[in-house]
């Protein structure tokens, strides 16, 4: 009996999100679409996740236009997207009218299959998106965000899947974003799901720990019908099992996918060349890394944290932060670590380590989380911490979006004539700052995507040598001499610059990132806090808002500043009661720990 396995290829979304910081451009997708469309995939994942953000922020592409172009170029294949439930593609809960408008427009512009997840696995946050997908006549896929913890049992996941089936979902996906699944756990989970629900099961597993193909095979043997793969030049490691490998593995068995291996290999060669173009975005953490099986921290989150720690000049605290993450996660009732909870947990863990005292600073996002603002925690939260964080404020026990008023009218008014379509309004809704900037630059004709550095092997690197400028040096390190040649230098982009060197003939690439601009800048003129009335912050960061003015009388404990570090906001309180006499910062300033930001006189 044939139990044909259906394949979803992630090459146009998750594969490059996992390996190349989501940087693949539409111009590198379109030339191969004709071939992709002939493969016979069940679907191609092409949109959502971080693609929307990357398009607007870095590539200066209209994400809606990308979707329309892919739709036209892939007439015979289902197009799929990843949607963060009530968060859509942003980082907060949107009102229901925004969710409905977004899903309707995504459907009209070309999406057939919506994979919908919630970072808390709180199905209340999926409901409106599922209903909107069904109203548009499209495929609604309910998603289990897989994680491990004392409360994440097979029974709990099955119960969630049953709820999603009752809500009208057409299928269920097991989303193992971190590579936590093991083969036998997968087999057990799929078997239990198949026994209790009648929907097709999709398995989306990242190969971070090198286990994904084994997990998929066990899922298949236990009744899963669908697997997510990535064409091999963009597969494995933090990405997914290779399409060609899985097709070959199942060929001739009862699970044969029926896909043409030679056609897939041609597509693989095309993307092999494409990947080289984006070498500057290759993460150093894309190979197999089994640490997630010990510390439960997803690889993507580790690399993200590493970048942010580097920005804060605190990369040496990484192992302490990794040890603190599970403790914070336990305090928060074991949320799965996926956008946005991964950031919320990671940043709070970092603050706990850097401050030398746990929860001395609590981010606004952790407060909102403990209040119930993201939905119901999977487990029990630390009640003492909750009281400390939210004080006497009321708990939110309804679906968070029930508290939100309709927003579309307001959003349309705010963006005004810059929006040429409802899609533009939604772009602005997802990313108020960079979305507006994108629409402004588009109107002014000044959109300019970040620069792609030349491929070093191709020799297209700018020559560093100028007349009379030495580019060869002999240096001594511990008594040994090395010959260093500067062979080229890339264009400065995002504050970073690549230098190409050779050391004793061996090529080396160095990415030069200047230290944070605030070091040595005007900010360094601020004196160090020495008195109780000196308001300072424990974290380096940006001033988001100044809540007081000179002359104001404040109470001890009153919030006087909002700062932002690592995408999370923190309120800074006055430590004494008194009168504000001097304010040393304005909105947008970068500040360092211990500097006097505001002076209060008792
Ligand atoms: Mn994924």
Task: Tell me the sheet residues that pair with 512.
Answer: 497
Percentage, residues of the chain above pLDDT 70: 88
User: 176-199: per-residue pLDDT in tens?
Assistant: 999 999 999 999 999 999 999 999
Q: How far is the CA of 131 from the centre of ligand 1 (A)?
A: 23
> What integer is the mean pLDDT of 113-120?
97
Q: How far is the CA of 363 from the centre of ligand 1 (A)?
A: 27
Q: How far is the CA of 365 from the centre of ligand 1 (A)?
A: 23
Q: How far is the CA of 331 from the centre of ligand 1 (A)?
A: 26
| Distance separating alpha carbons of residues 426 and 435, to the nearest angstrom | 9
Q: How far is the CA of 270 from the centre of ligand 1 (A)?
A: 22
Cα pseudo-dihedral 368, 299, 360, 398, rounded to 10? 10
Q: How far is the CA of 389 from the centre of ligand 1 (A)?
A: 32
User: 385-436: per-residue pLDDT in tens?
Assistant: 999 999 989 999 999 999 999 999 999 999 999 999 999 999 999 999 999 9
User: 279-332: per-residue pLDDT in tens?
Assistant: 988 876 667 888 888 877 876 787 778 877 887 888 899 899 999 999 999 999
User: In the prediction, which pLDDT does 331 show?
Assistant: 98
Q: How far is the CA of 310 from the centre of ligand 1 (A)?
A: 25
User: In the prediction, which pLDDT does 539 show?
Assistant: 76
Judged against a pLDDT cut of 60, whether residue 465 lies above it is answered with: no
> Residue 285, exposed/middle/buried by CB under 10 A (0-12, 13-18, 19+)?
middle
User: In the prediction, which pLDDT does 291 show?
Assistant: 84
Q: How far is the CA of 518 from the centre of ligand 1 (A)?
A: 36
Q: How far is the CA of 360 from the centre of ligand 1 (A)?
A: 34
Residues in contact with 498: Cβ distance below 8 Å, sequence separation at least 6, in sequence order: 280, 453, 489, 490, 509, 510, 511, 512
User: In the prediction, which pLDDT does 593 show?
Assistant: 82
User: In the prediction, which pLDDT does 475 show?
Assistant: 65
Residue whose entry in the numeric block shows the structure tokens 């990535």: 230
Lowest mean pLDDT among 47-51, 93-97, 281-285: 281-285
Strand order in the sheet with 559-565: 568-573, 559-565, 541-546, 590-591
Q: How far is the CA of 480 from the centre of ligand 1 (A)?
A: 47
> What integer is the mean pLDDT of 2-11?
95
Q: How far is the CA of 198 from the centre of ligand 1 (A)?
A: 24
User: In the prediction, which pLDDT does 310 show?
Assistant: 82
Q: How far is the CA of 157 from the centre of ligand 1 (A)?
A: 18
Q: How far is the CA of 232 from the centre of ligand 1 (A)?
A: 16
User: In the prediction, which pLDDT does 298 show?
Assistant: 76
DSSP string, 451-512: PPPPPGGGT-SPP---TT---EEEEEETTEEEEEEEEEE---BTTBEEEEEEETTEEEEEEE
User: In the prediction, which pLDDT does 489 show?
Assistant: 64
Q: How far is the CA of 273 from the centre of ligand 1 (A)?
A: 23
Q: How far is the CA of 23 from the centre of ligand 1 (A)?
A: 15
Q: How far is the CA of 355 from the centre of ligand 1 (A)?
A: 33
Residues in contact with 3: Cβ distance below 8 Å, sequence separation at least 6, in sequence order: 220, 225, 254, 255
Q: How far is the CA of 228 from the centre of ligand 1 (A)?
A: 9
Q: How far is the CA of 327 from the centre of ligand 1 (A)?
A: 25
Q: How far is the CA of 486 from the centre of ligand 1 (A)?
A: 39
Lowest mean pLDDT among 219-233, 449-463, 566-580: 449-463
Read off φ and ψ for residue 34, nearest 5 degrees.
Answer: -55, -45
User: In the prediction, which pLDDT does 570 show?
Assistant: 84
**Nearest alpha-carbon partner for 298 in 18, 10, 102:** 18
Q: Contact 271/32 with Cβ under 8 angstroms? A: yes
Q: Which residue has the higher pLDDT, 511 or 288?
A: 288
User: 219-239: per-residue pLDDT in tens?
Assistant: 999 999 999 999 999 999 989
| Distance separating alpha carbons of residues 144 and 531, to the nearest angstrom | 51
User: In the prediction, which pLDDT does 204 show?
Assistant: 98
User: 259-276: per-residue pLDDT in tens?
Assistant: 999 999 999 999 999 999
Domains delineated in the chain: 407-444 (no CATH), 453-514 (3.10.600.10), 525-601 (2.40.50.100)
Q: How far is the CA of 284 from the centre of ligand 1 (A)?
A: 18
Judged against a pLDDT cut of 80, whether residue 585 lies above it is answered with: yes
The model's confidence at residue 464, banded by pLDDT at 50, 70 and 90, is: very low
| Distance separating alpha carbons of residues 204 and 227, to the nearest angstrom | 6
User: In the prediction, which pLDDT does 456 show?
Assistant: 73
User: In the prediction, which pLDDT does 516 show?
Assistant: 40
User: In the prediction, which pLDDT does 461 show?
Assistant: 45
Q: Contact 428/414 with Cβ under 8 angstroms? A: yes
The model's confidence at residue 538, banded by pLDDT at 50, 70 and 90, is: confident
Residues in contact with 212: Cβ distance below 8 Å, sequence separation at least 6, in sequence order: 176, 179, 181, 205, 206, 240, 241
| 580: three-class secondary structure by DSSP | strand
Judged against a pLDDT cut of 60, whether residue 524 lies above it is answered with: no
| Distance separating alpha carbons of residues 544 and 296, to the nearest angstrom | 32
- pTM (two decimals): 0.81
Residues in contact with 48: Cβ distance below 8 Å, sequence separation at least 6, in sequence order: 13, 81, 82, 83, 89, 115
The model's confidence at residue 127, banded by pLDDT at 50, 70 and 90, is: very high
The model's confidence at residue 540, banded by pLDDT at 50, 70 and 90, is: confident
Q: How far is the CA of 175 from the centre of ligand 1 (A)?
A: 7
Q: How far is the CA of 238 from the centre of ligand 1 (A)?
A: 9
> Residue 514, exposed/middle/buried by CB under 10 A (0-12, 13-18, 19+)?
exposed
What is the residue-averaged pLDDT of the chain? 89
Dihedral of alpha carbons 437, 439, 440, 444, sign:
positive
User: In the prediction, which pLDDT does 111 show?
Assistant: 98
Q: How far is the CA of 245 from the centre of ligand 1 (A)?
A: 19
> What integer is the mean pLDDT of 107-124?
97
Q: How far is the CA of 46 from the centre of ligand 1 (A)?
A: 12
| Distance separating alpha carbons of residues 247 and 415, to the nearest angstrom | 47
User: In the prediction, which pLDDT does 504 show?
Assistant: 65
Percentage, residues of the chain above pLDDT 90: 70
> What integer is the mean pLDDT of 353-381?
94
User: In the prediction, which pLDDT does 481 show?
Assistant: 62
Q: How far is the CA of 481 from the centre of ligand 1 (A)?
A: 47
Say whether the peptide bond before residue 340 is cis (omega within 30 degrees of 0). yes
Q: How far is the CA of 225 from the centre of ligand 1 (A)?
A: 18
Q: How far is the CA of 215 from the centre of ligand 1 (A)?
A: 15
| Distance separating alpha carbons of residues 389 and 583, to the nearest angstrom | 27
**Start-to-end C-alpha separation, the chain:** 83
Q: How far is the CA of 204 from the centre of ligand 1 (A)?
A: 7
User: In the prediction, which pLDDT does 542 show?
Assistant: 87
Q: Which residue has the higher pLDDT, 6 or 565?
A: 6
Judged against a pLDDT cut of 70, whether residue 498 lies above it is answered with: no
Q: How far is the CA of 414 from the centre of ligand 1 (A)?
A: 33
The 8-class DSSP code of residue 58 comes to I
User: In the prediction, which pLDDT does 487 show?
Assistant: 63
Lowest mean pLDDT among 57-66, 566-575, 583-592: 566-575
Q: How far is the CA of 206 from the centre of ligand 1 (A)?
A: 6
Q: How far is the CA of 97 from the centre of ligand 1 (A)?
A: 27
């Amino acid at each position: 009996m044939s139990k044909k396995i259906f394949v979803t290829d992630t090459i146009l979304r998750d594969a490059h999100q996992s390996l190349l910081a989501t940087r693949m451009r539409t111009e590198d997708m379109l030339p191969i679409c004709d071939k992709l469309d002939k493969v016979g995939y069940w679907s191609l994942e092409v949109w959502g996740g971080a693609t929307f953000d990357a398009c607007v922020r870095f590539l200066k592409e209209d994400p809606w236009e990308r979707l329309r172009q892919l739709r036209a170029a892939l007439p015979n294949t289902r197009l799929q997207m990843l949607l963060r439930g009530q968060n859509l593609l942003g980082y907060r809960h949107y009102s229901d009218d925004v969710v409905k408008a977004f899903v309707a427009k995504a459907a009209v512009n070309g999406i057939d299959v919506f994979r919908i997840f919630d970072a808390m696995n709180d199905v209340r946050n999926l409901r409106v998106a599922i209903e909107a997908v069904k109203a548009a006549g499209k495929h609604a896929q309910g998603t289990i965000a897989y994680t491990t913890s004392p409360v994440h049992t097979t029974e709990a996941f099955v119960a969630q899947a049953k709820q999603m089936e009752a809500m009208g979902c057409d299928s269920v996906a097991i989303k193992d974003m971190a590579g936590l699944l093991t083969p036998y756990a997968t087999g057990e989970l799929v078997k239990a799901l198949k026994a209790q629900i009648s929907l097709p099961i999709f398995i989306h597993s990242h190969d971070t720990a090198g286990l994904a193909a084994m997990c998929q095979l066990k899922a298949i043997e236990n009744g899963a019908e669908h697997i997510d793969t990535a064409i091999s030049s963009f597969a494995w490691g933090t990405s997914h099992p290779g399409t060609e490998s899985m097709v070959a593995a199942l060929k001739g068995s009862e699970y044969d996918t029926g896909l043409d291996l030679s056609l897939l290999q041609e597509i693989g060669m095309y993307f092999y060349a494409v990947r080289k173009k984006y070498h500057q975005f290759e993460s150093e953490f894309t190979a197999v890394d089994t640490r997630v099986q010990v510390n439960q921290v997803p690889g993507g989150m580790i690399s993200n944290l590493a970048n942010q720690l580097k920005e804060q000049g605190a990369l040496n605290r990484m192992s302490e932060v990794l040890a603190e993450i599970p403790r914070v996660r336990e305090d928060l009732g074991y949320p799965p670590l996926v956008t946005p909870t991964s950031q919320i947990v990671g940043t709070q863990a970092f603050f706990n380590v850097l401050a030398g005292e746990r929860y001395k600073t609590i981010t606004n996002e952790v407060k909102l989380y403990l209040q119930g603002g993201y939905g119901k925690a999977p487990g029990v939260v630390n009640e003492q911490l909750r009281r400390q964080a939210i004080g006497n404020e009321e708990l939110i026990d309804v679906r968070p979006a029930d508290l939100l008023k309709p927003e579309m009218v307001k959003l349309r008014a705010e963006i005004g004539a810059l929006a040429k379509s409802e899609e533009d309004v939604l772009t602005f809704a997802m990313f108020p700052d960079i979305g507006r900037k994108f629409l402004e630059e588009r109107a002014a004709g000044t959109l300019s995507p970040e620069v792609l550095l030349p491929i070093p092997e191709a020799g297209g690197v700018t020559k560093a040598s100028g007349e009379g400028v030495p580019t060869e040096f002999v240096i001594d390190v511990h008594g040994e001499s090395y010959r260093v040649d500067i062979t080229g230098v890339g264009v400065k982009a995002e504050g970073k610059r690549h230098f190409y060197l050779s050391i004793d003939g061996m090529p080396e690439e160095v990415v030069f990132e200047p230290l944070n601009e605030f070091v040595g800048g005007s900010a360094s003129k601020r004196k160090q806090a020495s008195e109780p009335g000196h308001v300072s912050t424990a974290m380096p960061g940006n001033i988001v808002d100044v809540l007081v003015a000179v002359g104001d009388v404040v109470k001890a404990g009153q919030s006087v500043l909002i700062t932002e570090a690592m995408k999370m906001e923190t309120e800074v309180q006055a430590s004494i009661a008194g009168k504000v006499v001097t304010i040393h910062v304005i909105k947008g300033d970068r500040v360092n720990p211990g500097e006097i930001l505001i002076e209060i006189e008792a």
